[in-house]
Structure 1
Amino acid sequence: MTTTPTPRPVPAPVLKELRAVDDAGRPAVSRTDDEGGAPLRCCLRRSAPGETIALVSYAPLRRWAARTGADPGAYDEQGPVFIHAEQCAGPAPDAGLPFTDAHRTLRRYSADGRILGGRLVETPDAFAPALTEAFTDPEVALVHVRAVEYGCFLYEVRRDDRSDPAPEGR
């Protein structure tokens, strides 16, 4: 890895699509988050009480594979993610690695979309070294950070964002 690990939120154009119809083909349903605390994949922070959010189905590897020509085969999956129901400003600049307050799994993928392994990360200070370690393997193209309890996708880190063949705008 040639740069500091950069967490990638769900890209703005994809969010626009998910707010209409999610990756399972269902219309998004918004709701007021009375309690707050939902991990928002659009801005990589937790929701505040009273924000309007939606829980949608998202297929991150499928969308990445469609752009890159990879074929993840059976590794293609979709799952629930929270997003703001309306467009938001995205992540704060230099916010660092989000959602490190609990055990997470770093799932490694090759350029053809196959899982190359994973690692449990248990402490906030272990995230950056674990990502650096993942990218010491030249076969690793991207890493998904996922919740341990349910396996939900939180965000993606790519080998080198500067070489991304089709970067998504915010």
Structure 2
Amino acid sequence: MGYEIRAIDAETVGALLDRDDAGREPRVFVAEEAGAPLRCCLGKAEAGERIALLSYAPLRRWAAERGVDPGAYDEQGPVFVHAGDCPGAKPGWPEAHTAHRMLRAYAADGHILGGRHLAAGDDPDTTLREVFEDPEVAVVHVRAIEFGCFHFEARRD
């Protein structure tokens, strides 16, 4: 059983840079210091890089692809993305995401099934594969523990 780690793709970023999922224009700026977590390539912004802060609804987009209604689980939150060219994400679990994380599992109908804590030092591949052992799990959102921010998703491949 495999899975694919998915950052926010270039087409979606392009649409969000026009108008974000909250219906607003994104805040585009030059990063004064390094470290903003980029959801388009799953890396960290460098000082001097042009980036954007915008609202993103990850489950809404996933559900729309499948023709399902996520209902109350359709949330949106802030993410940073490149405001220009982006190298895209490398395959596999990103090195920049090795701290504590929450793996939030959703069913094929877009409703939440539960969550699983991923502690710093745990093997993310093993933990994610264990979450996907449940045949009801269709997609997993990887989120920050501190603020609940969306980082990326994992889909069965």
Structure 1 segments, 4+ long, off by >4 Å, are none
The reply to whether residue 118 of structure 1 matches residue 115 of structure 2 is yes
Q: Indicate yes or no: 2:57 matched with 1:59.
A: yes
Counterpart in the other structure of 1:83: 81
Identity of aligned residues (%): 56
After superposition, the C-alpha distances for 1:100-122 in whole angstroms (9 at most, x for unaligned) are 33110000000001110101111
Distance 1:75 1:126 in 2: 28
Amino acid at match of 1:118: G
Instruction: Tell whether the 8 Å contact from 2:4 to 2:156 is kept in structure 1 after alignment.
Output: no
Letter in 2 for 1:41: R
* Aligned-partner SS, 1:35: coil
Q: Which residue type is aligned with residue 97 of structure 1?
A: W
Quote the offset at 1:140 in angstroms: 0.1
CA RMSD of aligned residues (A): 1.2
**Deviations 1:82-117 (CA, angstroms, capped at 9, x unpaired):** 00011312113x4x3123331100000000011101
CA distance in 1, matches of 2:52, 2:97: 22
The size of the alignment, in residue pairs, is: 156
State the partner residue of 2:139.
142
Whether the aligned pair in 1 keeps the contact of 2:60 and 2:70 (CA below 8 Å) is yes
TM-score (norm 1): 0.87
Partner SS for 2:106: strand
Shift of 1:56: 0.5
Question: Residues 29-61 of structure 1: CA distance to partner in whole angstroms, max 9, x if unpaired?
Answer: 211111111110111111111111111000000
Name the amino acid aligned to 1:113. Answer: G
TM-score calculated relative to the size of structure 2: 0.94
Gaps of 5+ in 1: 161-170
Structure 2: unaligned runs, 5 residues or longer: none
What per-residue deviation string (whole Å, max 9, x for no partner) do you get for residues 116-150 of structure 1? 01011112442111100010000000000001111
